[in-house]
Amino acid sequence: MNNEYIRWKSKKLKDNDLNIELEKIKDNNEAIEDAFGINLSFGTGGLRGILGAGTNRMNIYTVRKATFGVASVLKYGSSVAVAFDSRIKSDLFAKEAAMVFANCNIKVFLFDRVSPTPLLSFAVRELQCDGGIVITASHNPAEYNGYKVYDSKGCQINPFTSDLIFKYMENIDVFNELPNEMDFNTCLEKKLIEYIDDSLIDLYMDTVCKQAFYEGSRSIKIVYTPLNGSGLECVLGAITRRGFTELKVVKEQMYPNGLFPTCPYPNPEIKQALELGIRDLINTNSDILIATDPDCDRAGLVIRRKDEIRILNGNETGILMFDYICNMRIKKKIMPKDPVAVKTIVTTDLAKKIASEYGVNMIETLTGFKFIGDQIAILEESGKEDSFIFGFEESCGYLSGTYVRDKDAVNAAVLITDMADYYNDIGINILDRLEQIYKKYGYLMTYLGNYEYPGMSGLEEMKKIMFVLRNNSLMTKDYLKEIGHLHSDVLKFEINDLGTAIVRPSGTEPKIKIYYSSEGYDMIDSDIKLKKLISIMERMLNLA
C-alpha cells in the first residue's frame, strides 16, 4: 500500500472531510494511487486539481505547502493580497493561505467575500503588495479548485518564479507546522491579516468604467449570468454605473454556489452553460447575453437579432472589441502615437488584418494571458504604457486597460454593453458589424477541439500524442507540413489549403487542445474547409 496514504491515514486531519475520504478509499488501490502517486504539479498557473485527500489533490495541506513555497520567495516583511471565488472550500483555502503567510511574518490583505480574479490583480497594484494569490479553478467542473499566484505587478508569475517556488516546495513537508503557531483570529488581532475595505472595490469598478467610450441612449436590454460565480457584484456595479437600467440577471445562476447546479462546466464558451441565459434573452426580448465564469476573468457573449440567436466564440467577440476600440479611439482622437495590441498565438489571425488597417502594432505571445501581462509590463518599463490599447485570447479573455495585468470580464462586460449601445444607436446590430468585418478582412473561421485524458494513464497518453507529432515521420505526409514548435509545448501545422491546426496540452486540465483555423471565399466555404481540417487531424491522431 502507498506509504504516503498510510501516513495521512495515521493522522487526525483538521478537515474531517479528508478523514472520511481516506477511510472510504482504504480498499481501493487505484484510487489511492491516483490521489497519492504523485504530487499536484505547480507551474505558472499555480496549482489546479480535484478536491480531496492526497498529495495529488486540492486540500488545506497542499494549499499550505504551496503557500510556504510562495512565502519562501517573498521573504520576511513582504505583503500579499488574497482573494477567492465561489468554489467549494475556496474560503477555507484562502484563510489557510492567509494564516500561513501571517505566521511567516508576511502581511496579508484579504477579501472578505468572493471576488473576481482581476480585482485581485488590481488590489496587488493599488495596495503595493509584493504578490497575491487567488483561490480558483476558473471554469473547471465543481470537483476542482486551484491556487493562482501573482507578482508585484499584478501579473501571473513567470516560469522562473514558479520554478523557484516549486524548488522550495520540494523541501517542505505537506504537514509542515506553522512557525509561530498563530491561528487565524490571532493573526487578525495582531493585524498580520487585514480585511480589504470596500472602497478598493468601488475604485476598481470606477476604473473599469473609464474603459468605455460612448455616452449613448443606454436603451439596450441586457441579460447577465455570473454562472454562480464571483461576478455579480462587480459586473452589475460597473454596468449600472454606466447608466444601463434594462438589465436582468439569470435567477438560478445569480448567487455564488460552488456546486454549479445548473451546468457541470461553468464555462461561458459552451452552450450548456448559456442555456438559461438564452432562455431569458428570448423571454425578455433582450439584445445581448453576457456570461462570466466563476472567477470572472472570462466573458461569453450571445447576440439576438430579431429571431436569430447567435453564440459568439472568443475570437469573434475579441475582433469585435478590437475593431470597436480602434474605431472609437480614432473618432475621439485618442489613439496613441504608436498603438500596441497583443494576442496569443492560438488567437485568430484576423486580428492582424484589423491591426494593419488601423495602424496598430500587433504583438503575438505564447498561450496564456500572463504573457500579455508581461508585454504590458515591458511597455510600462520603457515609458510606453499608454500605447497599449487591447489584449485578448481566444478563450474569452480580454483587457483594454493597464490598471490590471490579467484578463478582466468586468472590463469585457463594460466594453460589450458600450459597443452594443453604440451600434444600436446607429441602427445596426452587433452581428451586422461582425458580418461587415468578415466581408472586409476575410472569412476566417475557428474552432477549438478539446480532447480529454483523465487520470494518470491520460497524462501518459497526452505525452505520447505530443511525442508522435514531433517525431513520427508519418506526421509529415504531403498534406501535413510542420511550421515549427515554440518554446512552449506547442506545435503548429499547415494542412494543404485547408488551414492550420495548433496542438498543445492544456496547462490546467487533463486534455489536449487543438485550435483549428480555416479561411474561405465565404462563410460556407470556410466552414467546409474547417470541417475537413478537423476530420483529418482527428483521424490522424485517433482523437475522434
Collect all residues with Cβ–Cβ distance below 8 Å to 494 and sequence separation of at least 6: 480, 481, 483, 500
What residue type is 537 in one-letter code?
Answer: M
Distance CA 15, CA 25 (A): 16
Three-state secondary structure call for residue 221: coil
Provide the pLDDT for residue 544: 58
CATH number at residue 467: 3.30.310.50
Beta-sheet strands, E only, within 76-143:
79-84, 107-110, 131-135
Q: Examine the pLDDT at 480 and tell me if it is beyond 80.
A: no
Q: Are residues 225 and 249 in the same domain?
A: yes
- pLDDT, average across residues 331-342: 98
Q: Examine the pLDDT at 390 and tell me if it is beyond 70.
A: yes
Q: Are residues 370 and 455 in the same domain?
A: no
Q: Examine the pLDDT at 193 and tell me if it is beyond 60.
A: yes
Distance CA 534, CA 516 (A): 7
Contact 52, 18 (CB under 8 A): yes
Range name among 204-208, 316-320, 343-347, 414-418 with the lowest pLDDT average:
343-347
Q: Examine the pLDDT at 470 and tell me if it is beyond 80.
A: no
Helix axes 159-170, 60-74, angle to 10 degrees: 120
In the block, which residue shows the cell 471565399? 521
Q: Are residues 177 and 304 in the same domain?
A: no
Please give the model's pTM, rounded to 2 decimal places.
Answer: 0.94
Q: What is the pLDDT of residues 411-457, one digit of tens each?
A: 999 999 999 999 999 999 999 999 999 999 999 999 999 888 877 67
Torsion angle of alpha carbons 64, 69, 72, 78, nearest 10°? -60
Q: What is the pLDDT of residues 494-530, one digit of tens each?
A: 887 899 888 888 876 778 899 999 999 899 999 999 9
Q: Are residues 427 and 456 in the same domain?
A: no
Contact 139, 294 (CB under 8 A): yes
Provide the pLDDT for residue 392: 98
Distance CA 221, CA 127 (A): 36
What are the backbone angles phi and psi of residue 178, rounded to the nearest 5°? -70, 130
Q: Are residues 148 and 208 in the same domain?
A: no
Q: Are residues 231 and 278 in the same domain?
A: yes
Q: Are residues 263 and 347 in the same domain?
A: yes
Provide the pLDDT for residue 487: 66
Q: Are residues 514 and 375 in the same domain?
A: no
| Of 142, 173, 196, the domain-final residue | 196
Work out the mean pLDDT of the chain and round it to a whole number: 93
What residue type is 287 in one-letter code?
Answer: D
- pLDDT, average across residues 366-370: 91
Q: Examine the pLDDT at 240 and tell me if it is beyond 80.
A: yes
Q: Examine the pLDDT at 482 and tell me if it is beyond 80.
A: no
Q: Are residues 405 and 535 in the same domain?
A: no
Q: Examine the pLDDT at 344 and tell me if it is beyond 90.
A: yes
Q: How many domains does the chain contain in total?
A: 3
Provide the pLDDT for residue 363: 97
Paired strand residues for 363: 342
Q: Which residues of 7-32 are buried (b: 16+ CB within 10 A; e: fewer)?
A: ebbeeebeeeebbebbeebeeeeebb
Q: What is the pLDDT of residues 256-306, one digit of tens each?
A: 999 999 998 999 999 999 999 999 999 999 999 999 999 999 999 999 999
CATH number at residue 84: 3.40.120.10
Collect all residues with Cβ–Cβ distance below 8 Å to 401 and sequence separation of at least 6: 207, 208, 210, 211, 408, 411
Collect all residues with Cβ–Cβ distance below 8 Å to 23 and sequence separation of at least 6: 9
Collect all residues with Cβ–Cβ distance below 8 Å to 128 and sequence separation of at least 6: 79, 152
Q: Are residues 167 and 207 in the same domain?
A: no
| Of 196, 211, 236, the domain-final residue | 196
Distance CA 234, CA 6 (A): 45
DSSP state of 474: G
Structural domain including 26 reads 3-196
Q: At 485, is the pLDDT very low, low, confident or very high (cuts 50, 70, 90)?
A: very low
Distance CA 368, CA 487 (A): 13
Q: Which amino acids are annotated catalytic?
A: 138
- pLDDT, average across residues 67-74: 97
Range name among 88-97, 179-188, 478-487 with the lowest pLDDT average:
478-487
| Of 441, 476, 511, the domain-final residue | 441
Three-state secondary structure call for residue 509: coil
Q: Examine the pLDDT at 153 and tell me if it is beyond 50.
A: yes
Count of residues making up the chain: 544
Paired strand residues for 445: 518
Range name among 227-241, 383-397, 498-512 with the lowest pLDDT average:
498-512
Q: Edge-to-edge strand order for the sheet containing 288-292?
A: 247-249, 222-225, 288-292, 299-305, 308-312
Question: Cα angle at 491 between 487 and 495, to 5 degrees?
Answer: 150
In the block, which residue shows the cell 441565459? 277
Q: What is the pLDDT of residues 89-148, one digit of tens each?
A: 999 999 999 999 999 999 999 999 999 999 999 999 999 999 999 999 999 999 999 999
Q: Are residues 275 and 252 in the same domain?
A: yes
Burial of 200 (0-12, 13-18, 19+ CB in 10 A): middle
Q: Are residues 423 and 453 in the same domain?
A: no
